[in-house]
Amino acid sequence: MNALKLRSLLEKFFIEDIGEQDMTTDLIFSDSTNGEIVFLAKDDGVFCGEEIIKIGFQLLNNEISTQVLVKDGETIKIGQQLALVSGKIADLLKGERVILNLVQRMSGIATLTQKAVNTLNSDHTKICDTRKTTPGLRMLEKYAVRCGGGFNHRFGLYDGVMIKDNHISFAGSIWRAVESVRKNAGHMVKIEVEVETAEQVVEAVNAGVDVIMFDNRTPVEIKEFIKLVPSGIITEASGGIQVSNLAAYGDLGVDYISLGFLTHSVKALDISVKVKWNKGEE
């Protein structure tokens, strides 16, 4: 992850949550009271959020000490201690919810991605994400996919050409859409096209695209379509694919399977923050 962008995101999230003050915490605790909190796993899964914990608390107070006990991408078990954080109690309490929300969501994505990779169980086909991410969290969510063993599709509209059905309808054909891109884009830009029929596959191949994505096609259809694609063109399957039917796509020979549910329908992994000790009780 980009550390500079991460700091900027966390600052915005803290400002949103804290506002002018944490009224509850500021009325109870003095600035001089120290304590320690522990992040605990309440479910099995894959951890993701090491830098969130480290950078997040440091933004609130650079004297806070953080010790993350696991690495991103590591498997965690119920009851396992994930991180210890010590410092001013007021700062710990102000930061815990924002940081915990992000760690839970990212760990949930990493866990679901690993489940998808294991379910597919393919030495060739790779699992990747989509642009179906939470606004403002795309960098974090796509990082979590990588921690779970998946790969990233394009990050946004700006870093890859993907000609979809509506582009094709407005342009008039796959050929016209591809030709327009070729005339106006640099030589470093790859072109991906969504296809739904065998005729569109042939048209995309003849247009010289770099990637062909079989959109909302069944395993039977993809098995036939892929025979029409030369080995130099990357293939992708997407749409209508869930964990429940993912295994059926494992032996088709596609290079990638993109799954929107990795980020748009994920359940946060259950993690809690508890008080380890506080100076007032010593």
276 an active-site residue? no
The one catalytic residue in 141, 194, 203, 236 is 194
215 an active-site residue? yes
Task: Annotate 97-138 with DSSP letters as a single string.
Answer: HHHHHHHHHHHHHHHHHHHHHHHH--SS-EEE--S---TT-H
Tally of CB atoms within 10 A around 142? 24
88 an active-site residue? no
Q: At what angle do helices 198-207 and 174-184 cross, to 10 degrees?
A: 20
138 an active-site residue? no
The one catalytic residue in 22, 43, 97, 126 is 97
The one catalytic residue in 164, 227, 267, 276 is 164
The number of helices, as runs of H, and strands, as runs of E, in the chain is: 10, 12
54 an active-site residue? no
How far is residue 20 from each of residues 14, 15, 25, 203, measured CA to CA in Å? 11, 8, 12, 59
The one catalytic residue in 132, 138, 182, 190 is 132
**Residue numbers annotated as active site:** 97, 132, 164, 194, 215
